[in-house]
Amino acid sequence: MRPKDEWVVVKDIFEPIVDLELWERVQEVNGKRRRMCKAKREPIIFSGIAYCPDCGRRISFFPEKTSESNPKKTYFGSCQNYKANGPDGCMPHRIKKQDLYDIVLKDIREWAAMALADGQAVLGRVMEQQRLNSTVDYGLAEGKKRTIGKRLEEISHKQAV
């Protein structure tokens, strides 16, 4: 995603789905979601984007308690559902932050190498995966279609007057 100062914002083109006040409140809440590590004051890059593969809840990261023999903090990710509800909520997943970082970096390097070797094949795979992952709620889509159709009729009527 581009930095906020590079965004192109075009206002008053479409009727908003939510009012501006609600939008700004949500943006404020979303902006606060990335937590800073208390000790180093640096963000954990997976905070807010890592999810449990079983229940879909967020993975939260926390430092393991340090001792004199191990003064360096090791951060672990754990399913929030398990942390909140124990075995009734989910499985006790735990992953070291560094292990997750290494896995993601390895995947990025593999995809980059494949893209350099055959960009069209990678594009095809990405598009196929996106097609498989996309879900469409046709009832919702039909409702939006009707709403947009009514709005277009209103605009056409106002232009004719």
In terms of average pLDDT, the best of 54-63, 102-111, 119-128 is 102-111
| H or E, element range at 75 | strand 75-79
How far, in Å, CA of 132 to CA of 100, rounded?
Answer: 25
How confident is residue 146, by pLDDT bands cut at 50, 70 and 90? confident
Position 86 pLDDT exceeds 60: yes
Position 129 pLDDT exceeds 60: yes
Position 53 pLDDT exceeds 90: no
* Long-range contacts of 69-73, Cβ-Cβ distance < 8 Å, separation of 24 or more: 73/39
| Every domain of the chain and the residues it spans | 36-117, 119-161
| H or E, element range at 74 | none
How confident is residue 109, by pLDDT bands cut at 50, 70 and 90? very high
How confident is residue 104, by pLDDT bands cut at 50, 70 and 90? very high
What pLDDT score does 100 carry?
92
How confident is residue 136, by pLDDT bands cut at 50, 70 and 90? low
What pLDDT score does 99 carry?
93
Helix, strand, coil percentages, rounded to 5, for the chain: 50, 10, 40
Q: What is the DSSP letter of 102?
A: H
